[in-house]
Structure 1
């Protein structure tokens, strides 16, 4: 076993795996780079089996989730892992992306993926928004004031000029803090609203990024003005609700990042199906959107909806981007380990 210390600057095949910390990931990450990387990836055909569904192992209060992917045209492939054992008195979730090098078949890197999850979700939404929203200054309404809401606002600002941002969340203190941070960081006027309906009124773009605690919808179709674009990221499994069925009924174009999961396994779409709303003929995959094959349909859409559940493909694409930049900046730490290779 060979020992390594310090950091490294390299782009060639790595002699041993490296570790990229959360601090290093934050230091090298840029929204524009991640959004373009997502767009490039989804504009290429995806091989059957390259992005299988996530798997979740559960037993006695412990769970482990795995999201594997082999991106088209990328150097690396791998999986994001996350898990938690609730028997621990200080339970928490740790995330890691494990990357393999396609040129060598060797383990290349372990990337702290706590931030990557937020980065990739917002970058994917912004990549879709860039194809769905008109090319003009937009008024953004944000429902939610947490990490995802914050990241999405910054990602949206990377692809469109924001004329104004209005935010609502149940906590007055949190929404005021969110408004102050957006104004300070982005130089965009941002104000808090006393209700979700007030925040949405007159908005060109609506981000739903906060489910209610009792899993009731937080956004309704009759609040939305004609032509407004909706991005929904909070309902990702059957038990979760975020947008009302009236939003699904209103939408004349529905784009999903993992289309089958979005249409069949999210609480919002399950509720719409139970309400008798037909939506499959209105749906496109993110690959369909990025390929340009449906541009005429996209251009004529009056009420587009992008709905995301997240996927391993996004994790691997963003992790590869971060790894490459961390290597260039000397912020990837070589690990004093070597794996045996089976031939």
Structure 2
């Protein structure tokens, strides 16, 4: 079955993944003229506590298109979320691959943020303040190091052992000075780039506007639905330029922006799409915007673009698993 689909595991995906290639692919995808019909909003089906989320995309110029699906049934014996990216081949119109989306989700989120940061942060070394020490924070620090040298990193998170381990790993792997602190304000103080990658306990903001340096680029990725909070309304108020991967979803569906709107903050005239940023439409505005915010909720375009990069490399490395299955084709 030469046209049989194959599987790419998370282990294979991380083994072949390369930050520069993924970041460049995403920058190219977002700089292309947007086609809303090819990147529709995510959908969520839910019933009796169970839910299924779908993120479809047909990237322009790519060989593959498809969707990421994730679901959970809380009443199950082993509740948890599994992710799968299903890819169709434009050349054959057949299902080509199933990619485990767990690691890919963190990789594509960080690579997208790095593509944005490459335009939002001035050239040269950065001083990085990190709020959070989990998988997303880990991936983001590595992605950022692919577009900017990290001169110094200060991390804060609730668990001392985890933040200490995070700082030690960053210092070892990235060759930068790294420090762990208990206080979020101390982590952010004087930073030229701030990463907020952790929702708070109790959904209270973990980053506030008066903590920020006069010139700073902030990346926030931890609030993606109305009930979640990560950055305070004061951060939105302090930002001269706000860039979103999907403007409508960020503005209308994240708890951070909804709270800023309830606080009476008018950010509409300062809010733009990632396409605007990467296509160069904001170059003049950047010159007059010392405080810049990138806020991301993720999207199917990111999943499919990065999955294609991974699939191509996994095929070259012989790390795909052929599946002994075939699908009937409706003519």
- Which TM class, normalised by the smaller chain length? over 0.9
Alignment of 1:67-216 (within 5 A): 67-216=55-204
Q: Which residue of 1 aligns with 2:260?
A: 272
- List structure 1 segments (4+ residues) > 6 angstroms apart after TM superposition: none
Distance 1:299 1:102 in 2: 41
Q: 2:54 aligns with which of 66, 69, 86?
A: 66
Q: In the TM superposition, what is the alpha-carbon distance from 1:187 to its structure 2 partner?
A: 1.0
- 3-state secondary structure, aligned to 1:77: strand
Distance 1:212 1:22 in 2: 27
Cα deviation digits, residues 82-123 of structure 1 (max 9, x gap): 111122121111110000011111101001111000000000
Q: 2:304 aligns with which of 313, 316, 329?
A: 316
Distance 2:252 2:268 in 1: 10
The structure whose RCO (Cα within 8 Å, separation 6+) is larger is 1
- 3-state secondary structure, aligned to 2:20: helix
The answer as to whether partners of 1:219 and 1:243 remain within 8 angstroms in 2 is yes
Structure 1: runs of 5+ lacking an equivalent: 3-13
CA RMSD of aligned residues (A): 0.9
Distance 1:48 1:265 in 2: 18
The answer as to whether partners of 1:46 and 1:72 remain within 8 angstroms in 2 is no
Distance 2:270 2:41 in 1: 22
Count residues in correspondence.
Answer: 331
Structure 2 residue 225 is the aligned partner of structure 1 residue 250? no
TM-score, normalization by structure 2: 0.98
Q: Which residue of 2 aligns with 1:8?
A: none
Distance 2:305 2:183 in 1: 37
Q: Which residue of 2 aligns with 1:7?
A: none
Distance 2:242 2:200 in 1: 23
Cα deviation digits, residues 161-211 of structure 1 (max 9, x gap): 100000000111110010111011111111001200011111000001111
Distance 1:212 1:93 in 2: 20
Alignment of 1:217-228 (within 5 A): 217-228=205-216
Q: 1:47 aligns with which of 12, 35, 39?
A: 35
